[in-house]
């Protein structure tokens, strides 16, 4: 029988790519999103498809969807630092109360569940690269804690629903992901730099730009999420999905300036509080359990992303 899948946060950047892939696989997809940062425009290729349904819905309220559900992907949350810091209490509640509503729904429907957690659960890591077994170095009361601690709570709650209620749940820790549909006002490094470069505005380098990130192209990320959902026997597993190729933020700025042919200057801005100094996933577990590894490297992925921004989407 045809699979029926719910994607919470399906109108967002990663969620909308995920919905497209799932519909392409022939599944029936119900997308729920409160449109906090998600956009209907992200779904325009799907809205006329009979296999696709959109419902404006906030997971902080108990979830009601009639009929069977095989898989539930939980991607609903503010996710970029400027947004989750502005919407801090909403972020805390979506990941706590919202996650509980999702888990109760999955328990009642006997749906398999995947939650997208984050590399932020490692905080400003003292171990490098980050393995899933690392407990992290998080400031519990800092300006990022509304996201970091909310996701850590969501992970803890997920594990208790596995232990106490046998929900077939897996936790995926997403590392910095980029690609078409990143919103230009999202405040993330790749979207800021591309938007600035294309308008010949100064590229805003926070701190000295020596902090590192490891950037994963969205198609690789989505493929990893689907593989993690569809592999049986992963209840209670925590898996990093990200590209382990590490770049300094300064390198990313120069790459984007060069690739766009921009006349922009690169200017320094203060480093935000608690900004992690280094970040790189250890993906041994994803390779072993899922046979997943990224195939699109930064230069190629940036090319597609710059093209999308140029088209003025």
Catalytic entry in 83, 84, 122, 147: 147
Beta-bridge partner residues of 173:
117, 240
CA distance 296 to 215: 10
Residue 261, token pair as written in the block: 């042919």
CB of 98 to ligand UDP, least distance (A): 20
Check binding of 181 to ligand UDP (CB under 6 A).
no
Residue in the structure block whose two tokens are 């984007």: 256
114: which strand partners?
Answer: 73, 170
User: In angstroms, rounded to a whole number, what is the distance separating the alpha carbons of residues 269 and 100?
Assistant: 39
x-marked contacts with ligand UDP along 64-103 as a string, rule CB under 6 A: ----------------xx----------------------
CB proximity list for 77: less than 8 A, separation 6 or greater: 9, 84, 91, 94, 95, 98, 116, 147, 150, 151
To ligand UDP, the closest distance from the beta carbon of 16 in angstroms equals: 19
220 Cβ neighbours under 8 A, 6+ residues apart: 243, 294, 295, 296
Work out the number of other CB atoms within 10 angstroms of the CB of residue 154.
26
Name which of 74, 287, 79 is nearest 175 in CA terms. 79
d(CA 159, CA 31) in angstroms, rounded, equals 24
Strand partners, 293: none
* Interacting residue with ligand UDP among 101, 192, 221, 243 (CB under 6 A): 192
Nearer to ligand UDP, 47 or 267 (CB): 267
Binding flag, residue 176, ligand UDP (CB under 6 A): yes
- Could you tell me which stretch among 53-61, 200-208, 223-231, 305-313 binds ligand UDP (CB under 6 A)? 200-208
Query: How does DSSP classify residue 41?
Result: G
User: What's the rounded Cα separation, in Å, for the pair 166 and 152?
Assistant: 20
- 189 lies in the site for ligand UDP, by CB under 6 A: yes
The correct pick among 4, 74, 173, 213 for binding ligand UDP (CB under 6 A) is 213
Q: Kindly state whether residue 302 participates in binding ligand UDP, applying the rule CB under 6 A.
A: no
Tell me whether residue 83 or residue 105 sits nearer to ligand UDP (CB atom).
83
From 104-112, 125-133, 186-194, 214-222, span contacting ligand UDP (CB under 6 A):
186-194
Touching ligand UDP, residues 107-166 (CB under 6 A): none
Cβ-based nearer residue to ligand UDP, 145 or 211:
211
Segment 236 to 265, residues that bind ligand UDP, using CB under 6 A: 249
Residues in contact with 247: Cβ distance below 8 Å, sequence separation at least 6, in sequence order: 212, 213, 214, 215, 255, 298
Establish whether 147 is a catalytic residue. Answer: yes
User: Which residue, 33 or 148, is less far from ligand UDP as judged by CB?
Assistant: 148
Interface positions, 267-296, toward ligand UDP (CB under 6 A): 272, 275
Q: Contact positions toward ligand UDP, by CB under 6 A? A: 80-81, 176, 188-189, 192, 204-206, 211, 213, 249, 272, 275
For the annotated catalytic residues, the residue numbers are 147
């Amino acid at each position: 029988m045809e699979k029926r899948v719910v994607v919470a946060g399906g109108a967002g950047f990663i969620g909308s790519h995920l919905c497209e892939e799932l519909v392409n696989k022939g599944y029936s997809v119900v997308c729920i999103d409160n449109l906090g940062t998600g956009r209907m425009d992200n779904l325009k290729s799907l809205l006329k498809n009979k296999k696709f349904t959109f419902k404006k819905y906030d997971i902080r309220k108990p979830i009601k969807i009639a009929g069977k559900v095989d898989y539930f992907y939980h991607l609903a949350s503010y996710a970029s630092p400027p947004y989750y810091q502005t919407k801090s209490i909403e972020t805390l509640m979506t990941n706590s109360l919202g996650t509980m509503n999702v888990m109760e729904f999955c328990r009642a429907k006997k749906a398999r569940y995947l939650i997208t957690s984050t590399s932020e659960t490692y905080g400003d890591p003292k171990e490098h690269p980050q393995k899933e077994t690392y407990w992290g170095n998080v400031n519990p009361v800092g300006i990022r804690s509304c996201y970091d601690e909310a996701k850590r709570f969501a992970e803890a709650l997920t594990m208790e629903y596995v232990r106490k209620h046998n929900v077939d749940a897996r936790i995926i820790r997403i590392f910095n992901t980029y690609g078409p549909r990143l919103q230009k006002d999202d405040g993330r490094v790749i979207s800021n730099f591309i938007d600035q470069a294309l308008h010949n505005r100064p590229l805003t380098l926070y701190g000295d730009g020596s902090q590192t990130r490891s950037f994963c192209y969205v198609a690789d990320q989505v493929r990893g999420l689907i593989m993690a959902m569809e592999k049986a026997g992963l209840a209670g597993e925590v898996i990093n999905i990200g590209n382990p190729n590490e770049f300094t933020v300064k390198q990313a700025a120069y790459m984007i300036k060069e690739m766009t042919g921009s006349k922009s200057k690169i200017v320094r801005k203060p480093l935000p509080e608690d900004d992690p100094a280094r970040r790189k996933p250890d993906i041994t577990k994803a390779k072993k359990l899922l046979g997943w590894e990224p195939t699109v490297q930064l230069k190629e992925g940036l090319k597609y992303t710059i093209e999308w921004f140029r088209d003025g989407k």
